[in-house]
Structure 1
Amino acid sequence: MKFMIIFWTLYMLVFCIPFPIFLYVMIEDISTEPRNSLAISYVYLGFSILIWLYVLFFMINNLLVKTFKEKNAISNIMQNGIPRDAEITNYKLVKYSPKTKTNMIHITFSFRNLKNTLIQQEMMFYDTKPQEKRFDAGNTIKVLLNPSPSKEPHYILSGSQTKFKVNNLLVRVLFIAFLIAYVIGLYGYFYIRESFDFGWRFLTFMHPIIFSGIMFFLTILIVNYIVGKFVKNKKDEYILFAGRNTKATIISVSQTGLTVNDQPQIMFQVSFKDFRGNEHIAVYKKIISLLHLSSVPKNGSIEVLYDENDPKKIMIPKIF
């Protein structure tokens, strides 16, 4: 996750800022005559403002507003969360920090969701008291479930503490301030440089004022709506924490033809009865590692979780 944040930040700082300006300087000559009619220039201007307002709103919302909302959500779960006992099934030491005498650990644990269905989760965090061996395999810990399964986080460890990382927050504020200054500077610099008393009639689609905003917009679109779709499936998350479980009969298993990083997407068609006794046929798609492809069941029965309000929506927590 940290690598992805660094990669996309560098991508934006290179391809969304200097690249559009460099491209414009290479292919456009400064003209002392207007390039467009007054009406078209205002269309371009309005379009650029809308693009930049979206980009700035997205950045402020995701880098600052959501951080405060998540802190409030965790505080709410601490007060109103539904307690569950969780059994630790696997413990792994990732890294030891001699300076702080803490362990970064990865644990796997199971507990019952909001519908009393046993589910499994993984978590990586710093254990500040490793000498107490609280998270060894076989131990039981307390978790608090979010009463609203459609909202994140879905659960927290009991006794969790929330605090802002000052350095992290400062970097976010500085990035947003830089972006706002860049946008203001972009409009101001090119207006002074190219308007020649004709207003905004120097604007074209490839002008940095517009094209730089479009590059930011496309980057946000890729990260948020395409990459994010495969990294985290919100529908699966909801069903995992609020769904009911049952045994389903496998009707068919096939590849969809879609691959992500050369990993195929598999489509399961299953039939099952819900807790009311009604029978349903549902489809579930999941990206499967090539290493586990041979272990995917092709027939027989399999455990599924389903949304009791819409049983067509299912997930398969354990495929192999």
Structure 2
Amino acid sequence: MKFMIIFWGAFLFFFCVPFPIFIYLMTEEGTAEPRNSLAVSYGYLGFSLLIWGYIIVFFVNNLFVKTFKQRNTMYSILRNGIPREATITGFKLIKYVPESNMNVIQIVLSFPNLRNAMIEHEMMFHDTKPQEKRFDPGNKVKVLLNPNISQEPYFILSDQKVAFNTSGLILRSIFVVLLLAYIMGLYYYFYIRESNNFGWQFLTFMHPIIFSGVMTLIYVLVFQLIVGKFFKNNKEERILFAGRNAEANILSVSQTGLTVNDQPELMFQVSFKDFRGNVHIAVYKKIVSLLNLSSVPKTGAIEIMYDENDPKKIMIPKMF
């Protein structure tokens, strides 16, 4: 995982920083005359400022604002969270850190959600006292549910410590400072080098001031798309922690034609009654491993969870 992060980070750095500058310098046609009219040049300048402004806001928001918001949310849960007793149904040791005698573990917890429907959820964290074996299967722990389901995290352990990763914050700060230095350096260097008393009339779309920003923006948008579609599914988690459960009848199961890493996406059409007695027909899509494909139910009844405010939104927490 670390290798992939380093690889894609280096790949991103190359195509967003030296590559646009290298291409421009290799193909640049030296001229002392302005390349565009004043109106066009200021249009390009405004476009570049919008791009870089969005990029700066994106990184500051993701690296700092969300972190502080999550910390404040966790403090709020510690004060106002709804207590539940959870049973540990699964345990996996991810890594042992001998320097601090600490385990990185993944556990599966079973507990009632905000609507008192029993759910299971995985969480990964650092166990600072592994010798106490507090998280062995069958043990019980106290959790606190977030009453505000629009904010993450949706729950925490009742004795969970809230603290910043100082080294992580320092690295994030260095990254943002370097990003700002690079952006300001681009504008300063090329203005001094190419303005020739004509202001910003040297700007073109392929100029590094603009093209470097466009390349970075593309990677930012692709990152948001990938994370939003494949890594985080807040809609399902909200249903899991605040939804109601029901028994649904399977109407049909079919493949959508979409595959992710050669794993097919299935579409389930089900009918069920909500807690008010109203009948609904809903559709649910899920990526299924080829190894589990044969065990997917095609007919009969299946347990679902649904949003009581919008019963068309459902999820199937246990499919196999």
Which whole-Å CA distance do the structure 1 matches of 2:65 and 2:52 have between them? 18
Q: Deviations over 1:73-103 (max 9, x none)?
A: 1111000001111000112222222222222
What is the distance in 2 between the residues matched to 1:102 and 1:124?
A: 13
Relative to 1, partners in 2 of residues 1:75 and 1:56: Cα closer, same or farther, differing over 3 Å? Answer: same
After TM superposition, give the deviation of residue 229 of structure 1 in Å. Answer: 1.6
1:147 Cα deviation after fit = 0.5
Distance 1:145 1:298, change over 3 A: same
Deviation digits for residues 181-228 of structure 1, max 9, x if unmatched? 100000011111111111111111111111111111111111112343
Q: Are 1:59 and 2:38 counterparts?
A: no
Contact kept? 1:146, 1:154, Cα under 8 Å:
yes
- The corresponding residue for 2:199 is 199
Question: Amino acid of the residue matched to residue 16 of structure 2?
Answer: C
Contact 1:30/1:194 (CA < 8 Å) preserved in 2? no
Query: Partners in 1 of 2:150 and 2:7 — Cα distance?
Result: 29
For residues 154 and 287 of structure 1, what CA distance do their matches in structure 2 show?
Answer: 23
2:241 aligned with 1:241: yes
CA contact (8 A) 1:248 1:303 kept: yes
- The structure-2 alpha-carbon separation of the partners of 1:60 and 1:105, relative to structure 1 and needing over 3 Å to count, comes to same
Query: Equivalents in 2 of 1:43, 1:316: separation in Å?
Result: 50
C-alpha deviation, 1:120, in angstroms: 0.6
Q: Structure 1 pair 160/215, CA: closer, same or farther in 2 (3 Å)?
A: same
Report the 3-state secondary structure (helix = DSSP H, G, I; strand = E; otherwise coil) of the residue aligned with 1:162.
coil
Equivalences for residues 115-194 of structure 1 within 5 A: 115-194=115-194
Partners of 2:153 and 2:270 in 1: CA distance: 30
Residues 113/3 of structure 1: CA separation in 2 closer, same or farther (3 Å cut) = farther
Distance 2:157 2:268 in 1: 33
Which amino acid in structure 1 is aligned with residue 223 of structure 2?
V
Aligned to 2:307: 307
- 2-structure distance, mates of 1:25, 1:284: 52
DSSP-derived class of the 2:240 partner: helix
CA distance in 2, matches of 1:98, 1:179: 35
Cα distance between partner residues in 1 of 2:178 and 2:222: 22
Q: Any unmatched runs of 5+ in structure 1? A: none
Q: Distance in 2 between matches of 1:111 and 1:31?
A: 71
* Whole-angstrom CA distance in 2 between matches of 1:236 and 1:184: 42
Q: In 2, Cα distance between the equivalents of 1:31 and 1:289?
A: 59
CA displacement at 1:270 relative to structure 2: 0.6
1:317 aligned to 2:309?
no
Question: Residues 207 and 26 (structure 1 numbering): CA distance in 2 closer, same or farther, change over 3 Å?
Answer: same
Distance in structure 2 (CA, Å) of the matches to 1:28 and 1:189: 15
CA contact (8 A) 1:96 1:104 kept: yes
| CA deviation after TM superposition for structure 1 residue 2, in Å | 5.7
The 3 A distance-change label for structure 1 pair 5 and 76 is: farther
Distance 1:286 1:38 in 2: 53
Counterpart for residue 278 of structure 1: 278
Aligned to 2:101: 101
> Structure 2: where are the runs of 5+ without partners?
none
Moved more, 280-289 or 23-32: 23-32
Change (3 A) 1:6 1:152: farther
Q: Is the 8 A contact 1:105 1:124 kept in 2?
A: yes
- Deviation track 1:9-50 (CA, whole Å, cap 9, x = no partner) reads 333322111111112122222322211111111111100000
Match of 2:50 in 1: 50
Q: Which deviates the most, 26-35 or 204-213?
A: 26-35
User: Aligned partners of 2:211, 2:186: CA distance in 1, in Å?
Assistant: 11
CA distance in 2, matches of 1:266, 1:85: 34
Q: What amino acid sits opposite 1:169 in the alignment?
A: L
* 1:84/1:112 contact within 8 Å kept: yes
Q: Which amino acid aligns with 2:297?
A: P
Comparing 21-30 with 44-53, greater Cα deviation is found at 21-30
Local SS of the residue matching 2:305: strand
2:301 maps to 1:291: no
Residues 148-171 of structure 1 deviation map (CA, whole Å, 9 limit, x = unaligned): 112100110111111111111000
Identity across the alignment (%): 65
- What letter is aligned with 1:147? P
